[in-house]
Amino acid sequence: METMSATTRSLIRRPRQIEASWPTGAAVLAVVLYATGLIANPSYPAWFNIIPAVALLGISGWLASRTMRGAAASSDARQVTTSFQLERSVFYITTGFVVVRTLSALGVDIYPLIYLLLAFLVTFEARNAAIGAVLTALIIEWASHWLGTPSGTAEITTGIHLQSSVDLALLGTRSVFIALFGFLSYFVHGTEVMERRRRHQREVDAERDKMLRQAREFRLLNSGRTDAALAGRAQAEEMAVYDAVEAVQHTTYVSLSMLKAALKCNTCVLLWFDVRQENLRIKELVSDSDALLETEIKPAKGVVGTITRQREPLLLEDLRPGFRGIPYYRQPQNIQHFLGIPVIENGHLRGILCADRVDGSGFTSADTAVAEEAAAYILRAIENERMFTSIERTKFELSRFFEASRNLNGVLSPKDVYRVALESIASIVEYDFAAITAFDPDTHTHRIEAVDHAADFEGPFEDWVGRTFNDAHHETRPSGGLVAMVVENRHYLPYGGQVRESDPIIFTRDEPIKDIRSMLVLPLVAHDKAIGTLVICHRQAGQFGAERREMLEVVGNQVAISLQNARLYAQMEQMATTDGLTGLSNHRTFQSRLESTIARHRRTQQPFALVLTDIDHFKSVNDTHGHPAGDEVLRQVSKVFIDSLREVDVPCRYGGEEFAIILEDADRATAMRVANRLREDIGRLEFNSEQGTFKCTISMGVSVWPEDSEEKQPLIDLTDQALYYSKEHGRNQVTSADQL
């Protein structure tokens, strides 16, 4: 589904990131072959040396074209990652050494090309890439000397043969020149290039700030903060208004040009108020004079002050020479006639359209009507572009809304629901603080499950995750926060999304959030029951209007359904893997955990133990004391396992009255000691029934991986045989597989 224009989609797409890839391996291979004399060897045929040189030059050309494509796609050289620059530099240096030694084998000595290539890379690449290029050159040079394969040598050995003697003078000279060229290039040319890049970036940032300021002055863009938004949203909003600003400026210029020609003016200028309505700026002008002011203009100054106060057209004729009341000139001009038209939108003075003449007759009422129509036309153009920008912004938000719904449908755990929900909401609206709470109707408590906040909005918010507080009707400590009220009433608060208190209580008084002007606490409703809340806060007023609130309510309902589905999925997963009576893992889970344990211990070669147990005379317990008493025995035995074993150990119900235990990182002695302790603890348990008090004992078998067996089924069989041996020889004992 297409949800925004191609222009906006192309402007908000993620910058193309260029990452390191296979050329790094090719460069390392080329270095090894070069140092060992297997390529660019004078003793080889010329064609044999030329092939790898040409191949490396081809890859270098591909890397260069890839760089240019990436820069063109992102229009920002900073998007080329440091890893790619390092990879590229290392490959270029390696190629340079191979080409130089190949030409040297043909009788052409161009080794200084290495210094020039190094100087170029150090100048234009990032610092880490420059250091990598210098180190690569030194490594290649030193390795080739110590292996007897330096460039310029008539005879080169092949293979790895350390030389007993090295031309230290040549090695030292080349190393010094490599380091010197790298050092001087970085601190001379590199510093200058870096400064030019910074200057260019400052110019780009200044132009961007100017465009955003104009957009806000035209009311094309909300005047609130944008730095709290995610990068994708901020980019989309900027690009959505860029074309609108250009269109408004073009329309204004054309209108002023036509007005100047129609009224035979010296200057036609549009003065426009800034966002705070404090000063005027020249927004557009068409003039025969070069003396116009470029700075801000006070709205109370000169003839502009009269129009600002009266908000009516102003006609002035036969002005005296050197009249100083026209504020948009740097110095007095010989203006004889002046016309000023207020530009009013919905009762608000947005700007002033001014025209003046240096000769001829004064402006007439017909001229005033033409100027008023031009001002109205400019205002209609701004309103149209504002509407188009709003539509484009809404389309962007709707696309993110649909994406959020799709993402929420694909998560299966509550933790993932919280994460995806906050990420999705951040892509739809700006916020300084957001949180998700969950409500437990059985305990009547709320729990803060997840929080997120802007980088510049400081507070101990991460410490709040996991805190619980009571609902609004608790007997001793009722919560007076908005979260409890929203869950109780299943309706959002506060009304209109506006904060009317200086320090509103959202959760409890122990979690204060200051300087909040806009806020929404939305109920998360699933199956007509409130299961939590979504809290969104912003430091600027008017951030959550009716349209955005309705969209967030839909997202909140989707979050509630996804959260309910995640909980149901967790319950189903637990039912599929857990024994309902004892709470232990079931037989299927035991088989799976045993397989993963064996696979893990094959890598570490550390032993682990497997224990199988059986409750002695359990059938007699059921026959004598009843099945409820038998179920209680199973529960109490399972509780002993859970309480006595480590978290890494895995107790499971193997079937009937049999249990299996996986003891992590346990040798035979440890396993026997743990098994006997469990046997004794269970032997001390007492059970009550209508027939009286009774006790139970257990028999146990123990085996150790890999000593007894390295495979799963033989290991289980040996453990089962040890258990059978315990039952056949008196019960209430532990038998190890090595005793069979």
What confidence score (pLDDT) does residue 71 get? 53
Q: Average pLDDT for residues 264-284, to the nearest whole number?
A: 89
What confidence score (pLDDT) does residue 316 get? 93
- 733, containing H or E segment: none
Please give the single-letter amino acid code of residue 662: I
What confidence score (pLDDT) does residue 225 get? 36
What confidence score (pLDDT) does residue 14 get? 36
Q: Average pLDDT for residues 542-552, to the nearest whole number?
A: 81
Give me the percent of the chain exceeding a pLDDT of 90. Answer: 26
DSSP per residue over 26-93, as a string? HHHHHHHHHHTTSSS-TTS-HHHHHHHHHHHHHHHHHHHHHHHHHHHHHS-GGGB-HHHHHHHHHHHH
* Confidence check: pLDDT of 91 > 80: yes
Tallying the residues shown for the chain, one arrives at 740
What confidence tier does 9 reach under pLDDT thresholds 50, 70, 90?
very low
What confidence score (pLDDT) does residue 677 get? 94
Q: Where is pLDDT greater, at 190 or 238?
A: 238
* Confidence check: pLDDT of 222 > 60: no
CA distances from 281 to 125, 214, 304, 313, 711 (A): 42, 10, 12, 19, 83
Query: Which residues have CB under 8 Å from 199's CB, separation 6+?
Result: none
* Confidence check: pLDDT of 714 > 90: yes
Main-chain dihedrals φ then ψ at residue 229, nearest 5 degrees: -75, 160
Q: Which of 330, 378, 331, 334 is nearest to 353 (CA)?
A: 378
CA distances from 715 to 150, 471, 551, 598 (A): 61, 54, 58, 10
Rg of the chain in Å (alpha carbons): 40
> Which of 101-115, 616-630, 675-689 is least confident?
101-115
Give me the percent of the chain exceeding a pLDDT of 70. Answer: 86
**pLDDT tens-digit series, residues 409-447:** 767 778 888 888 888 888 778 888 999 898 888 888 888
* Confidence check: pLDDT of 217 > 70: no
**pLDDT tens-digit series, residues 587-617:** 888 999 999 999 999 998 999 999 999 999 9
Q: Where are the domains of the chain?
A: 9-200, 235-388, 410-573, 578-739
Q: Average pLDDT for residues 69-83, to the nearest whole number?
A: 52
> Which of 350-364, 520-534, 594-608 is least confident?
520-534
For residues 402 and 183, give the distance between their C-alpha atoms in angstroms, rounded to a whole number. 54
What confidence score (pLDDT) does residue 13 get? 34
Q: What superfamily does domain 410-573 belong to in CATH?
A: GAF domain (3.30.450.40)
Q: Are 552 and 520 in contact (CB under 8 A)?
A: yes
What confidence score (pLDDT) does residue 697 get? 93
**Same fold yes or no, 235-388 and 410-573:** yes
Q: Where is pLDDT greater, at 470 or 614?
A: 614
* Confidence check: pLDDT of 223 > 70: no
What confidence score (pLDDT) does residue 660 get? 94
What confidence score (pLDDT) does residue 239 get? 64
What confidence score (pLDDT) does residue 312 get? 93
Q: Average pLDDT for residues 161-180, to the nearest whole number?
A: 81
Q: Are 738 and 669 in contact (CB under 8 A)?
A: no
> Which of 122-136, 211-225, 250-264, 388-402 is least confident?
211-225
DSSP per residue over 517-548, as a string? -EEEEEEEEETTEEEEEEEEEESSTT-S-HHH
CA distances from 708 to 73, 185, 362, 737 (A): 62, 67, 112, 7
**pLDDT tens-digit series, residues 365-383:** 999 999 999 999 988 888 8
What confidence tier does 237 reach under pLDDT thresholds 50, 70, 90?
low
**pLDDT tens-digit series, residues 481-491:** 888 888 888 88
* Confidence check: pLDDT of 94 > 70: yes
Class of domain 578-739: alpha beta
What confidence score (pLDDT) does residue 6 get? 32
Q: Where is pLDDT greater, at 129 or 433?
A: 433
Instruction: Tell me if the bond preceding 706 is cis, omega within 30° of 0.
Output: yes
**pLDDT tens-digit series, residues 640-672:** 999 999 999 999 999 889 999 999 999 999 999
* Confidence check: pLDDT of 228 > 50: no
H-assigned helices in 540-653: 546-577, 587-604, 618-625, 627-644
What confidence score (pLDDT) does residue 20 get? 43
What confidence score (pLDDT) does residue 154 get? 65
What confidence tier does 291 reach under pLDDT thresholds 50, 70, 90?
confident
Q: Which of 32, 88, 18, 26 is nearest to 60 (CA)?
A: 88
CA distances from 212 to 234, 274, 350, 488 (A): 11, 12, 17, 43
DSSP per residue over 197-229, as a string? HHHHHHHHHHHHHHHHHHHHHTTSS-SS--TTS
Q: Are 430 and 543 in contact (CB under 8 A)?
A: yes
Pick one of 3.30.70.360, 3.90.1200.10, 3.30.450.40, 3.90.1150.10 as the CATH number of 235-388. 3.30.450.40
What confidence score (pLDDT) does residue 15 get? 36
Q: Average pLDDT for residues 119-148, to the nearest whole number?
A: 81
What confidence score (pLDDT) does residue 342 get? 94
What confidence score (pLDDT) does residue 598 get? 93
Q: Where is pLDDT greater, at 701 or 117?
A: 701
Name the average pLDDT for the chain: 82
Q: Which of 543, 386, 374, 578 is nearest to 454 (CA)?
A: 543
For residues 459 and 481, give the distance between their C-alpha atoms in angstroms, rounded to a whole number. 19
